[in-house]
A = this chain, B = another copy of it.
Amino acid sequence: MKTLTIGLTQFAAVEDPSVNLDSAERLVRAAAAKGAQVVCLQEMCSTLYFCRREDPALFRYAEAIPGNTTERFASIAKELGVVVVLPLFEKRATGLYHNTAAVLDADGTYLGKYRKMHIPEDPGFHEKFYFTPGDLGYRIWETAFGKIGVLICWDQWYPEAARLTAMQGANVLFYPTAIGWLAEERETLGPAQHNAWETVQKGHAVANGCFVAAANRVGREGDTVFWGQSFVSNPYGEVIARTPVEEERAEAVVCDLEQLEEFRNIWPFFRDRRIDSYEAVTKRWLD
C-alpha cells in the first residue's frame, strides 16, 4: 500500500454515554464514507471529560474492554471495512480503572488495547484519581491497512513514548486527546499552549519519520473549552489537515507512505542513534 487514509474525528460530548456513542458511530460512518481506512475517535469517547472533578460516583461510566462497546464498534468496523481506534474508560476490576484505547481491525477483529501510560494531575485534569497508569507498555498493531501505534493525550508530551512506539514499526502514531483551555487562561496563554501541543507532536513525527494524528474533542465542559484542531502531521512536521476549534468533524486525510520512505532514507536518524549513551533516560532527573 502506498497510501493510508486516516479518519480524523472530533465532537462535543454530553452527559449521556449512549448519545456520545451514537455521535462516535456517526463520525466513523462519515469518515468511512469519505474514504477513511483507519478512523481515530477522541479520548474517552463515550463520556464527558469528567476528570474536571474527583467523584467516585463517576466510576460507573467505566466498562470492560473488550465488552459491549467494543463489540458494537467491531461490527461497524467490519461492516464498513475500516480500522477503528476506540478510546474508552476501562473497568479492569472494581477500584481499578484505566484510560484505554481498543483497536478494532477492518474485519471486526478485536486486536488489543493500549492503556495510557502517562497520567496527568492538574487543575481541571484530575486523572490520577481515576486512572491507574498503564501496565501494557507501548504497542503497535498490524492492521488491514498497516502498522499503527496508539498513545493517549498526556503521552503526547513524552518523546520516549513516541520513540518506543515508532521503534516497533508504526507508520502512524494516533493520539486520542481531550485538551482545552481553562476559560480564564484562553486569552492569555491560549495560543502559546495550543502551539506547544501541536509542535511537540509534530516533533515526534520528524524525530521518528512517521505520521502523527491527534483527535481532540470540542465543546465547553464546565470551565474547560476543548480546543478541537485535530490534525495530521507528515514526517516533515507539516500539518496536512487540521479541523476547526469548535465544530464536529469527520475528515479523511490521505497519507503518502512513500513520503515516509523518502524521509527516512534521506535522513536516516535510526541508523545513528547512540544507544550506548541513552541509559540515563530511565532516571528521573540527573543531579
Contact = CB atoms under 8 A, between A and B. Distances in A.
Interface of A: 117-122, 133, 137-138, 154, 157-164, 167-169, 189, 192-193, 195-196, 199-204, 206-207, 235-238, 263, 266-270, 272-287
A229 to B, nearest CB: 15
Contacts of A207: 157-159, 200, 203
27 contacts: A122-B268, A157-B206, A157-B269, A159-B159, A159-B163, A159-B207, A160-B278, A161-B274, A164-B278, A164-B281, A167-B280, A167-B285, A167-B286, A169-B286, A169-B287, A195-B236, A195-B237, A196-B236, A196-B237, A199-B203, A199-B236, A199-B237, A201-B203, A203-B207, A275-B281, A276-B282, A279-B282
B278 A200 contact: no
* Main DSSP-derived SS at the A contact region: helix
Nearest to A203: B203
A273 B237 contact: no
Given A164-B278, A164-B281, A192-B236, A154 B199 contact: no
A287 B168 CA distance: 6
